[in-house]
Amino acid sequence: MRDELKSAGIPRVERPAEVTRQHLSAFLDAFIVEGSRVRVRNLLRRNGWRAATSGQVEARLDPRVCTWDTRQSRPAVWDPRFQGAGVYITDTEVGLAMSLEQASAASIATRSDAIFSLTPGVLAVFLNHEWGICYCSAPNVP
């Protein structure tokens, strides 16, 4: 089986499972519409990590704290607030440490939607592998 991340030059640096759970749980609490959080958590329990990046999550991102950039699949210059090391979560790659640029390249290479979380419940990016990105930030973050 071909390793798309290795082919893209992205190292596999795994974060501890507890750190990954913390990032994902905080993402759900902060960036999913309140009325859908229980449903999404149940999806995760039933379907595992795959549910985290399914259309079910994408459709339930809270527009008050998450902003879609659909003008381009990937920007030439990323929002500087989202620079730095974070945790990358897809349906098959769970809890890898990388930068936003690497996360974007990984999402495209593996043809998977992904969550890239920098600070649990404060800064995150949802990467749709085909058509856009969604910047999510807590209301008190400039």
> pLDDT value at position 62?
95
For the chain, the domains span 15-137
What pLDDT is attached to residue 1? 44
- For the entire predicted model, the pTM comes to 0.88
Mean pLDDT of successive 10-residue stretches along the chain, which has 142 residues: 74 87 92 92 77 75 90 79 90 85 89 91 90 88 60
User: What's the pLDDT at 112?
Assistant: 84
Give the span between the Cα atoms of 4 and 7, in whole angstroms: 5
User: What's residue 142's pLDDT?
Assistant: 58
- pLDDT value for 141: 63
Q: Which residue has the tokens 């640096």?
A: 13
Give the 3-state secondary structure of residue 121: coil
Q: Alpha-carbon distance 54 to 56, whole Å?
A: 5
pLDDT at 53: 62
